[in-house]
Chain A
């Protein structure tokens, strides 16, 4: 088994990976399989399940199944992008702060503290108030929330590595700082990143889905799981499936990502919850 897939040996890892494959497959291939266009009404609102619409219809009479098949792309893409962005920024800040011996470290870390002293969702809502609801605001906002958390973890890993012999040897050889950071330090903090990334992704998915649920992210008539839970909740006693469908998909997605993340972290020798405790 390749090194990268060793996490799947544990029960949690295997189940999580299976679930994750399923949800991602639904999000990617789903739109090709959807029986109806996601935005066209096919019947009366909140119809129960039938042969034509297996999961019934939503509050506007659109096919719930088709919308569930379409609705995963947005949350996965937006959450994934924001985590990438958070790592790009967090790596730069964390490496710089961890390796610096001057004022850079305290300045960067105090800024991180300030960003972290605001509840994540509150920070997003403040941004939405100022900049309006858009995909860009959502991605950048979630990335900004995660960036200080990533930076802190990378910083402490960098500090632990930068006193090791091979780093000091590289510095003594007169290597440039960028070379030391990129070639000596970065490869050695990969395990730290691997142990942390599942948690970051779970958190990003939760935030993106929550903002969409609040109606302050993606706007109707977009098909998005979070938005669907929100718009169909008034018909819960008529057609619970219109809420249960998208809610189940979000639940499976976050649980799967967290299980895989936990298994990877355990394999790296750190429990994800311990990583969380330290952030």
Chain B
């Protein structure tokens, strides 16, 4: 009896693998999104504890050493610092979920209510514009350079691309950016060294301020992704089915594009996701370097004046984007590689 029972279970689970792809795809995607949301909650606790490990508290941090006792007491009360930390954390988290990022401590110190969201909405959009331009340029360029290097392996073209990308990939963004400023501002005087964008206007209205930040971030991410696309292409081009296609007399261009690139694409999605995540870190430095009014610069400014509330809320927004990029990449990979679905189901 028990034997039949286990048989029935086996065939039932076998049927799960054979179900139409769409439902297993949706389930995997949902599971991935749920895991991401859980991670974000843990990260939010990490951010909260990390920023509140102060010797004093958030009020004395933002007011500095010269604060008057009455002023301290007032800001403490406005920020609700007399309540237990757990309660404040849950309050903050609840706010974040409903889109209320709280008021900045610097605002309270100046005696006004300054919602963090109002302060970062514009900068966030500016950062998205910058990042989108970089990504839109990075992906095709990395595929092109990676494929060119992989198909001319051992030749000068490959050496140039490989060595060049090895050099650039090891440079901090602020070094790439500073060198670009020296060349394009100090020497050639064709591009501005700082990205002045008057409040309320879009950087797109003044494209020249976007050029150097874009080039800097492109340098930092393109080098890494090119190297990995090259490695992935080399692996596929050396595999049996590519050899088979060649032996069947298919034209080399078709072999590279249809058999090589098509199969190197799924790993490449992960590579691009990694580099977009890297970009999110790099954008903080680059915005500070060029004084570009984005969310990264807001963050550095908030850290510099120890505005705990603003740091927490900006950090959680950036972390959410970071985790979302990862989820999107995983979902695309699941969509691109049917094997993953049946293996997991």
Contact of B281 among A117, A119, A129 (CB under 8 A): A119
The reply to whether the CB of A271 lies closer than 8 angstroms to some CB of chain B is yes
Residue total for A at the interface (Cβ-Cβ under 8 A): 49
Known A-B contacts A113-B39, A118-B319, A213-B172; A129 and B308 likewise in contact (beta carbons under 8 Å) = yes
The reply to whether the CB of A214 lies closer than 8 angstroms to some CB of chain B is yes
A117 lies within 8 A of B43 (CB): yes
B311 lies within 8 A of A126 (CB): yes
Contact of B227 among A131, A257, A273 (CB under 8 A): A273
Q: How far is the CA of A209 from the CA of B289 in the complex (A)?
A: 13
On chain A, the residues within 8 Å of B288 by CB distance are 213-214
Contact of A237 among B173, B186, B231 (CB under 8 A): B186
B326 lies within 8 A of A258 (CB): no
User: Which chain B residue lies CB-closest to A199?
Assistant: B170
Contact of A122 among B42, B175, B228, B315 (CB under 8 A): B315
User: Which among A29-37, A152-160, A169-177, A240-248 touches the partner chain?
Assistant: A240-248
A12 lies within 8 A of B322 (CB): no
On chain A, the residues within 8 Å of B171 by CB distance are 206, 251, 254-255
The reply to whether the CB of A210 lies closer than 8 angstroms to some CB of chain B is yes
Binary CB contact string for chain A from 224 to 245 against chain B (1 if under 8 A, 0 otherwise) = 0010011001001100100110
B186 lies within 8 A of A229 (CB): no
The reply to whether the CB of B130 lies closer than 8 angstroms to some CB of chain A is no
Q: Which of A129, A213, A257: most chain B CB closer than 10 A?
A: A129
Q: How far is the CA of A254 from the CA of B228 in the complex (A)?
A: 19
Within 8 A of A (CB), among B48-63: 49-54
Q: How far is the CA of A118 from the CA of B326 in the complex (A)?
A: 11
The reply to whether the CB of A58 lies closer than 8 angstroms to some CB of chain B is no
Q: How far is the CA of A255 from the CA of B163 in the complex (A)?
A: 10
Question: Distance (Å) between the CB of A251 and the closest chain B CB?
Answer: 5
Question: Distance (Å) between the CB of B192 and the closest chain A CB?
Answer: 12
Question: Distance (Å) between the CB of A69 and the closest chain B CB?
Answer: 19
Known A-B contacts A119-B322, A130-B51; A210 and B173 likewise in contact (beta carbons under 8 Å) = yes
The reply to whether the CB of B73 lies closer than 8 angstroms to some CB of chain A is no
The reply to whether the CB of B285 lies closer than 8 angstroms to some CB of chain A is yes
The reply to whether the CB of B103 lies closer than 8 angstroms to some CB of chain A is no
Question: Distance (Å) between the CB of B2 and the closest chain A CB?
Answer: 28
On chain B, the residues within 8 Å of A126 by CB distance are 46-47, 50-51, 311, 315
The reply to whether the CB of B210 lies closer than 8 angstroms to some CB of chain A is no
A244 lies within 8 A of B172 (CB): no
Within 8 A of B (CB), among A104-134: 113-114, 117-123, 125-131
A121 lies within 8 A of B170 (CB): no
Contact of B304 among A213, A215, A230 (CB under 8 A): A215
The reply to whether the CB of A147 lies closer than 8 angstroms to some CB of chain B is no
User: Which chain B residue lies CB-closest to A253?
Assistant: B170
On chain B, the residues within 8 Å of A123 by CB distance are 50
Question: Distance (Å) between the CB of B209 and the closest chain A CB?
Answer: 16
Question: Distance (Å) between the CB of B270 and the closest chain A CB?
Answer: 8
The reply to whether the CB of A277 lies closer than 8 angstroms to some CB of chain B is yes
The reply to whether the CB of B334 lies closer than 8 angstroms to some CB of chain A is no
The reply to whether the CB of B109 lies closer than 8 angstroms to some CB of chain A is no
